[in-house]
Structures are given as C-alpha cells and as structure tokens.
Amino acid sequence: MDDLRPVTADPGDDLRPVTSDPVARALVVAAIVLYVGLYSMWTIRNHNGFGTYAFDFGIYDQGLWLLSRFERPFITIMGRHLFGDHTSFILLPLVPVYWVLPSAKVLLVAQAGALGIAAVPAFLIGREKLRNEMLGALIAVAYLLHPALGWTNFEQFHPDVFEVPLLLFAFWFMLGHRWVWFAVSAGALLLVKEDVAPLVFVLGIYIAVRHDRRVGLLTSALAAAYFAAALWWILPSLNGVGTLNAWRIPFGGPGGLVRTTFTEPGQLVDYLFDGHRPWYVWQMFVPFAGLSLLAPGVLVIAAFPLASNLLSTFSYQYDMRYHYGTLILPVLVVSTIFAVARARSTGVRHVLVGVVVCASLTSAYLWGPTPLSRHPVGIADPGSSTVPYVKRALAMIPDDAVVSAQYAFVPHLDHRERIYMFPNPWRAQYWGTFTQEGQQLPEADDVEYVMVPSVLDQEPKAVFDRIRGEFDTVYDDGGVTLVRRRGP
C-alpha cells in the first residue's frame, strides 16, 4: 500500500511518509473478517428461522432468480418490474452467482461483504490523511462499529448497501487523482439507485473546487443527466408513472415545500424538530464523536440525502434502524478523518481518534443491534418448534406452482415466476403503482396454493375465509395451513 500515496490538493496537508504497520493492517483484516463472518452468520440464521420477509428481501431474491433464468424480472410480490421500483442495476453482477448458487443466502453474504469491505477504503483514506496506519485502522474499526451500519445489515436486504463501499472508494480515488478508477466507482455508485445522483452531483462540485475543475464539472453533468434519465425515462418506461416516492415530500409536494420554506420558514423549522428527527441526527453523528461537523466542506456532500431523510414524511427515513443512511455514513467517515487531520500535532490526532473509538464502542453498545448490545435485534431461531411444520408444508408445494403465501414464507418460495404476498391477489396490498389497492386482481384465479399461519389477523383472515371454499386443505399442523385449489 505504500505506493498508493495520493496526490492531495488540500493546502497544508501533512505529507510525512507513512510507515508500514503490520499490526494495523492485521487489525483491519481481522475486523472485516469478524464483521462479515458474524453478520453473515446472524442474518442467515435469521433467514433459516423464517425471519426474512417478502418486503424487501423476497423482492430481490425473486428478481435475481428470474434474471438468472433469463426471464423478465417482473416481481409478482410487489406487482412491478424490478428496475421499475428503483434503478438498482448494481444487482446485475449477482446474476451469474445465481447460476451457480441459486440461494437467497447469496444476498445476505453479499450485503455483509459489501458493508464489511468498505472498511478498506476507510482505512486507506485515514492512513493517508492522518499519515499513520494505526489511526487509519482505528477509524475503520469505528466505522464497522457504527450502529446504523449494523441495523442496515439486519434490515432484510437492500441494494443501497453497495453505496457504502463504492462511495468510500470514490473518495479514495478522488484523493489520489486516479480519475479512471474514480469514474468506475462513481459510475457504479449511480447504478445503485436513482437517488444517488444528487450526491454525486455535489461531489462533482467539490472536486471542481478542490481538485480538478474539468473532472468535477463532468462528474456533475453526468450525474444530472443520469438523474433526469432515471426519473423521466427509465422508471416511467418500466412502471408507467416514474418515481413512486413523491408522496414522501411534505407540505403537499415540491411546490408546497418551496412555498413553505420562503413564506412560513417557522413551520418548516417546527417540522424538522418534530418527532425523532433530531434524535436521528444525534445517533448518526455521535458514534464519530461529532467530529465530522468540524469538516463542513466535506460534510456538505451528504446534504441531499440528509435533507431528504429529515424532510421525509416517511418515518423510516429518519430512523437509524433502517437503510436510509447508506449515503450519509461514508461522508461522516471521511469528514471525521478530515477533521482529525486538521490537528497538526500527532498527539492530538491520537487523542481525537481515541475519542472516536470510545464514542463508537459506547454507541454500538447503547444503540447497536448485535447480541452484545443493550437492546439486540431479534434473530429468528431455526430451532424453533414451529420450523419443522413450516418446512413440511413448503415441501408439499411444487416448484412451478403459482402460490400466495404469508410474508415470512415468501422468501422460501420465491424462486418461481409467480408468488404473491397474501392477501394478494385477492385483496391488493402494496401492489404495482398503488392504484388497485384493496381490489381483487385478475391473477386471483391462477393461484394454486395458499400457505398462511393458522391464526391470521382480522383482514387477511376475512380474505382467507372468503376463498377457503375454493381450496382443499393439504396440511394443517403446528400453526401452519396449506391449501390447494380444488380441481374441476
């Protein structure tokens, strides 16, 4: 790694040589292996215990399975084209893996691997800016301990996780002026999701101001062009309407938000301080001891995703336990490193990084999801007494049957062309572009098997009771009911 010293453009950068530190490198490798191993183990165990759900795990598993069979990825779980939901073309490299290993567990290992390997660019950036490999290694460990990272890893599966390593690698290549590799990283980053483009646009402005004007302006222009193409061409061509998240903009939409900002700013301020929004900011910043605030020039790169989360009417976006911080977290890492680098004294840098490590350890215990934290996430138990009954019922369903199943059963049945999340398709829920909610869909007559818990909530029970006469009971034991459509 000694030949990877970047050509920095920041005035006053510390350019002292960096001495190789085998202990620091071993620490980074060990931390990554431990992270990937533990989170893969925990999430696979959760999946085996039927703790993964149709949304948002089964969606991607069915999509990749269909693509691996060279089928159109129309996801019957949600009634939309896979890439009409979000432009997550970054998933395509996983398709060949499904040729060899067609398992939902591929997604869980890929997710843990992506979040874990992001510690490498975090270490490299810390190493170069702080001129000390151990300090870089400790920053990488602090990143892995951030509670938002752990919660994201436990939250089913989302392509957004690939934003974390790609953005950190883009920062690393930017600092070294390795523009070809930067373009590769930034290009792949844009393919994760349509809402990445505004961040890349701001990153381009940062590059134009601090590093290379031509590269920066080109980056911003391409990001803007891709954003426009995604919103006004790709998504509409695949789902017929464009973005499906406009309802999350407060005050009646973009126009209402702009109007409120200028005519009633107090109302906007009250809105931003309402609910858990301030607590969300606190939980995101405190694990790095709030030092990222001392590097506002870097922190501003995350302005759009942070503002988007805080302004959203959808509470998941300003809750650390969900995946909406994947663009913010890498910027917090880098801005923290830049803040520490402002201290010219080596001793002060050691103290600041020590404070960051202490803050990350404390936050991981207080707010993290792992079994070692104060309030660990529930991991489904594959050894539960109900699991054998569920497996017996699953084994009775033919591989090519059209099935409607309860959300926890769907990820174990979605390697087929048509699988619905009950009560779909008899009562549309979270379906398509939401114009048919509550209606019976034409596909209802095609369903051959229905698998649900024996005890259902009121609404799904009403649907099941209504259709029960069309089906014969195949299996009813251990809290699991499986019925098959009665033949002519």
Write the pLDDT tens digit of every residue in 222-268. Answer: 999 999 999 999 999 999 999 888 889 999 999 999 999 999 999 99
| Beta strands 419-421 and 449-453, pairing class | unpaired
Is 168 part of any domain?
yes
Buried residues in 89-102 as b, exposed as e (16+ CB within 10 A): bbbeebbebbeeee
* 5 has a pLDDT exceeding 60: no
Token pair, residue 62, equals 């069915």
Higher-scoring residue by pLDDT: 163, 13: 163
Average pLDDT on 440-457 reads 96
Whole-number average pLDDT of the chain: 95
The domain boundary, picked from 333, 367, 401, lies at 367
pLDDT at 436 over 50: yes
Residue 64 counted as domain residue: no
Residues 400, 300 share a domain: no
- Whole-number Å distance between alpha carbons of 251 and 10: 41
Measure Cα distances from 143 to 101, 164, 182, 311 in Å. Answer: 31, 11, 22, 26
Residue 199 to residues 133, 190, 193, 194, 282: CA-CA distances in angstroms?
A: 29, 9, 11, 11, 21
Task: Quote the DSSP letter at residue 48.
Answer: H
Q: Which of 76, 71, 67, 52 is nearest to 98 (CA)?
A: 67
Confidence (pLDDT) at 433: 93
pLDDT for the residue 246:
86
68 has a pLDDT exceeding 80: yes
Q: Is the pLDDT of residue 6 over 60?
A: no
* Residue 135 domain boundaries: 2-52+104-244+275-367
- 68 lies in a domain? no
What are 187's two structure tokens?
């290009």
Closest CA to 74 of 63, 85, 64: 63
Assigned domain for 377 exists: no
Residue 12 pLDDT grade (very low, low, confident, very high; cuts 50, 70, 90): low
Q: Decide: pTM greater than 0.85.
A: yes
Residues 203 and 332 placed together within one structural domain of the fold: yes
Tell me: do 24 and 157 sit in the same domain.
Answer: yes
CA–CA separation, 237 and 189 (whole Å): 22
Domain end point (choices 334, 367, 400): 367
Q: Are residues 175 and 129 in the same domain?
A: yes
- Whether 346 and 425 map to the same domain: the answer is no
**Contact yes or no for 158/110 (Cβ under 8 A):** no
Q: Are residues 130 and 236 in the same domain?
A: yes
What pLDDT does residue 275 have? Answer: 85
Q: Is residue 32 part of a domain?
A: yes
In a domain, 353, yes or no: yes
Q: Are 348 and 417 in a shared domain? A: no
Q: Supply the pLDDT for residue 13.
A: 65
Using pLDDT thresholds of 50, 70 and 90, give the confidence band for residue 470: very high
Token pair for residue 174?
A: 């930017």
Distances (CA, A) of 362 to 214, 286, 335, 368, 440: 43, 10, 20, 9, 50
Model confidence pLDDT, tens digit, residues 147-200: 999 999 999 999 999 999 999 999 999 999 999 999 999 999 999 999 999 999
User: Is there a single domain that holds both residue 238 and residue 297?
Assistant: yes
Q: What is the pLDDT of residues 69-124, one digit of tens each?
A: 999 999 999 999 999 999 999 999 999 999 999 999 999 999 999 999 999 999 99
pLDDT tens digits for 290-313? 999 999 999 999 999 999 999 999
Mean pLDDT, rounded, for 280-289: 98
Within this chain, do residues 348 and 465 fall inside the same structural domain, yes or no?
A: no
The percentage of the chain sitting over the pLDDT mark of 90, rounded to a whole number, equals: 94
Count of structural domains within the chain = 2
186 shares a domain with 39: yes
Letter for the amino acid at 65?
Answer: W
Q: What tokens appear for 17 in the block?
A: 């040589």
Last residue of a domain, one of 303, 336, 367: 367
Residues 126, 217 share a domain: yes
- Tell me how crowded residue 23 is: count the other CB atoms within 10 A of its CB: 9
Q: What confidence score (pLDDT) does residue 3 get? A: 40
List, for residues 118-156, the tens digit of each pLDDT value: 999 999 999 999 999 999 999 999 999 999 999 999 999
> Closest Cα to residue 61, out of 91, 28, 22, 89?
91
Please indicate, yes or no, whether residues 355 and 399 belong to a single structural domain of this protein.
Answer: no
Q: Over 80: is that where the pLDDT of 11 sits?
A: no
pLDDT at 7: 45
Structure tokens that stand for 449 in this block = 């098997």
Q: Determine, yes or no, domain membership for 260.
A: no
Instruction: Using the predicted structure, report yes or no on whether residue 340 has a pLDDT greater than 90.
Output: yes
Query: What was the pLDDT predicted at 9?
Result: 45
Residue 80 lies in a domain: no
Q: Identify the pLDDT of residue 4.
A: 44
